[in-house]
Amino acid sequence: MRLTAICVYLLGILRFSDGEFRFASYYGDHMVLQKAPERAVLWGFGPDDAKVTIYLSGQAAAPAVSVFAGIWRVTLVPVQAGGPYNVTAVFQNQSITLTDVLFGDVWLCGGQSNMAFTTSQVFNASEEMALASEFPHVRIFMASLEQSHTELIDLAGLEVPWSVPTGELLGGGDFKHYSAVCWMFGRLLYKTLRYPIGLVESCWGGTPVEAWSSPRALRNCGLDRTNKLPMSSITSMISAGWTNSVLWNAMIYPLLNMTLKGAIWYQGESNTEYNQKKYSCTFPSMIDDWRMAFHQSSGGQTAVDFPFGFVQLSTYIKSSVYDGFPNVRWHQTADYGFAPNLRMKNTFMAVAMDLGDEMSPYGSIHPRDKQDVAYRLSLGARAVAYGEKSLAFQGPFPNSVLVNDNHINVTYDQRVSVTQSQDIFEIFCLMVKAPGDSLSSWVPAPILQWGLSSVLVSTTKCSSRDNVAGLRYAWRDWPCDLKACPVYSADGVLPAPPFTQPLARH
């Protein structure tokens, strides 16, 4: 370990441990610990060289462990889903007991304001909050909003300690309490899995991916830790001036010892105007780095490739011609257009560009339909994280694109439901005026007709077939009305994601 890393580690211990015997702040009554086959990790603080023993009600005690550098740590034997249990830590004549502890799957929910968007802000909010009492085994936890220029050993504060959900906790004021997407995702998983789900929220509105990334992840993309997010039309609505890694340090690093099942993420709006072209590197690099860090810090209990779901950006300005949103949507997939892919394995994506909400009282960048977002994420989790076979979780994506005399034949990887559109598809026309002199532009390509799994689009707005050099779909900030994009899965549930691709010239 390098000297600087040792210094950071010791500074964290000095800040959070004064010899007091206690659990780390992440642990508490009503919590969910990761079930078998993984092993849950428990840790805390105490005086050096002391011995700590962990007891799980109804089971033999774990072997005693020593406190080293102010920290003790125990990895439990695998425990099947269920509970409740009492978990007791004993040191000399002192003991601390956590009550009503369940074992199930633990999911981390991160991102910016659309993840922070609370249940009281969604459509049908009162109905959604009233459902809390029906899901007492979906437990919630939320870290406080904190920044740090060094990696913290423990969380600096808790906004919501581990709790049985209530309508008050799920509401709690605009962007102030519990994430609607996180809660609804967990609720939907519970309805399928029928065992406890633990939800850990750690997100902050107006934040770029760089703030959530470690210095080593940023270095992989040619960034250093001193860059700051400048004021912009998007970020100025909430906050600005973020320094790289400050949220990784304060709101992710302290959680690394926990055993996770997976993570979901809703972020990217801030990067439409900051390091936009880097996002195809920074986002996948952050995922890789989180996976490595959680795996190592949990002693290998969190999978090295744990499932990671994300929400593709929704919409912002209906009449905008700025390409920041479509570009970041593309970069969220490492420029593949879909997930999982070769660069982003074991990931899943919820398309949200058809959920725009121009009349949202929280600004059009904050759509109120979080139910469909959570549902689409839950489909991805069931397929990717839980291995449900034959479950549709992705919208249609092109298998092949063939240019013919007056049209392009787009063949999808599944059956499609299509409605007419004059401009959702666009072709790139390369018009040569003279040798060495050309003028290029994107022009609408109307849908001509469609079949079970294909769409024909017109090329007549290009001067000739030979000048058709590219095709793209839904490449706008706000490409379609609410749940009314032209191409969906055959059942009309999952929208086709945007894509862009060059076409061979003849």
- The DSSP element (H or E) to which 126 belongs, if any, is helix 125-130
Q: Is the sign of the CA dihedral 452, 356, 284, 184 positive or negative?
A: negative
Residue 52 has pLDDT above 60, yes or no: yes
- Two structure tokens written together for 236: 């100025």
Residues 486, 489: Cα–Cα separation, whole Å = 10
Q: Name the average pLDDT for the chain.
A: 91
Q: Is the sign of the CA dihedral 386, 392, 397, 399 positive or negative?
A: positive
pLDDT at 378: 98
| pLDDT tens digit sequence for 92-124 | 889 999 999 999 999 999 999 999 999 999 999
What string of DSSP letters covers 325-337? HHHHHHHTTTTSS
pLDDT at 238: 43
Contacts of 228 (CB under 8 A, 6+ apart): 241, 242, 243, 244
Which of the four pLDDT bands, split at 50, 70 and 90, describes residue 60?
confident
Q: What is the mean pLDDT of residues 2-27?
A: 60
Which of the four pLDDT bands, split at 50, 70 and 90, describes residue 223?
very high
Q: Is the sign of the CA dihedral 177, 306, 313, 279 positive or negative?
A: positive
- Two structure tokens written together for 47: 């005086």
pLDDT at 230: 56
Tell me the Cα Rg of the chain. Answer: 25
Residues 493, 505: Cα–Cα separation, whole Å = 35
Closest CA to 208 of 182, 186, 189, 234: 234
Amino acid at 356: G
Residues 410, 450: Cα–Cα separation, whole Å = 9
Which of the four pLDDT bands, split at 50, 70 and 90, describes residue 321?
confident
Closest CA to 10 of 132, 195, 173, 150: 150
pLDDT at 71: 96
- Two structure tokens written together for 444: 């609408």
Residues 461, 446: Cα–Cα separation, whole Å = 9
pLDDT at 265: 98
What three-state secondary structure class fits 249?
helix
Residue 239 has pLDDT above 70, yes or no: no
- Two structure tokens written together for 149: 């220029």
Residue 198 has pLDDT above 70, yes or no: yes
Angle between helices 180-193 and 371-380 (to 10 degrees): 50
Q: What is the mean pLDDT of residues 434-463?
A: 85
Using alpha carbons only, give the angle 24, 28, 34 rounded to the nearest 5 degrees.
Answer: 90
CB atoms within 10 A of CB 173: 9
Residues 386, 66: Cα–Cα separation, whole Å = 37
What string of DSSP letters covers 268-291? -GGGGSSSGGGHHHHHHHHHHHHH
Least confident span in 49-53, 208-212, 337-341: 49-53
Which has the higher per-residue pLDDT, 5 or 367? Answer: 367
Q: What is the pTM of this model?
A: 0.93
Residue 328 CB-density burial (10 A; 0-12 exposed, 13-18 middle, 19+ buried): buried
Residues 455, 418: Cα–Cα separation, whole Å = 8
The CA-based diameter of the chain, rounded to the nearest angstrom, is: 90
The long-range contacts involving 15-20, CB below 8 angstroms and separated by at least 24 positions, are 15/152, 15/153, 16/45, 16/152, 16/153, 16/154, 17/45, 17/46, 17/70, 17/71, 17/153, 19/45, 19/46, 19/47, 19/48, 19/70, 20/45, 20/46
Which of the four pLDDT bands, split at 50, 70 and 90, describes residue 151?
very high
pLDDT at 237: 42
Domain-by-domain residue ranges, the chain? 103-385, 398-502
CATH topology of domain 103-385: Rossmann fold (3.40.50)
Residues 42, 140: Cα–Cα separation, whole Å = 18
Residues 83, 31: Cα–Cα separation, whole Å = 11
- Two structure tokens written together for 482: 């609410």
Residue 58 has pLDDT above 90, yes or no: no
Using alpha carbons only, give the angle 438, 440, 442 rounded to the nearest 5 degrees.
Answer: 170
Residues 75, 81: Cα–Cα separation, whole Å = 17
